[in-house]
Amino acid sequence: MLLSACSDPLSLPPATDPNVVDTLTLDGLSGTDIGIPSGYDMANLTKIRTDRASPFDFAFDIDTSGVSKIFPTGALGIGGNSGVLYAETSFERVDDPPLEGYVTDSALVIDVDSVFIVRGRPAGAGIVPCPFFLGSLPRYGKFRVLAIDPQVRQVTLESLINVNCGYRRLQPGFPDS
């Protein structure tokens, strides 16, 4: 009966939340207080302390030679299937992120003005409001490095994350796909 209520029961539900550009700051995994968030959870749009749990999609660190990096969860040895990918265009022009080609097992080197795309770990219906028949779907987000402070070991990122079930479009406003 529920399936017959829709004209196409296997289509995506309507987008309910607009895509919004925001900023966030993460501290390094190393060389900072353990209680300060180094990871980011795209499913809940929150910074995460990586010492407490692994429900995050990527983390930030600066290595011993001063190189700044973004780590998908696989690169930290905790699984999760998140992935990172350099964008080949400006932040504003990233529109439809690819479905494949994401790096899942190694870090992405970043610098100021680097633009990268993150495919979040697949999240179940309890995290991302999706109909059960769609299964676990990842969220997609785009990020631009606004600043890196090597002294305090922080990165500030401009971000846009599509929080709508099954949608990938990464432009401000309500997505249509």
Q: How many CB atoms lie within 10 A of CB 143?
A: 26
Integer Cα distance of 96 and 169 in angstroms = 5
Are residues 143 and 157 in contact, defined by beta-carbon separation less than 8 angstroms?
Answer: yes
Per the listing, tokens 């930030």 go with 60
- pLDDT 10s digits, 54-69: 689 999 999 999 999 9
- Report residue 43's pLDDT band, with 50, 70 and 90 as the boundaries: confident
pTM equals: 0.89
- pLDDT 10s digits, 107-161: 999 999 999 999 998 765 344 456 555 567 889 999 999 999 999 999 999 999 9
Query: Among candidates 112, 141, 116, which has minimal Cα distance to 42?
Result: 141
More confident residue, 5 or 71: 71
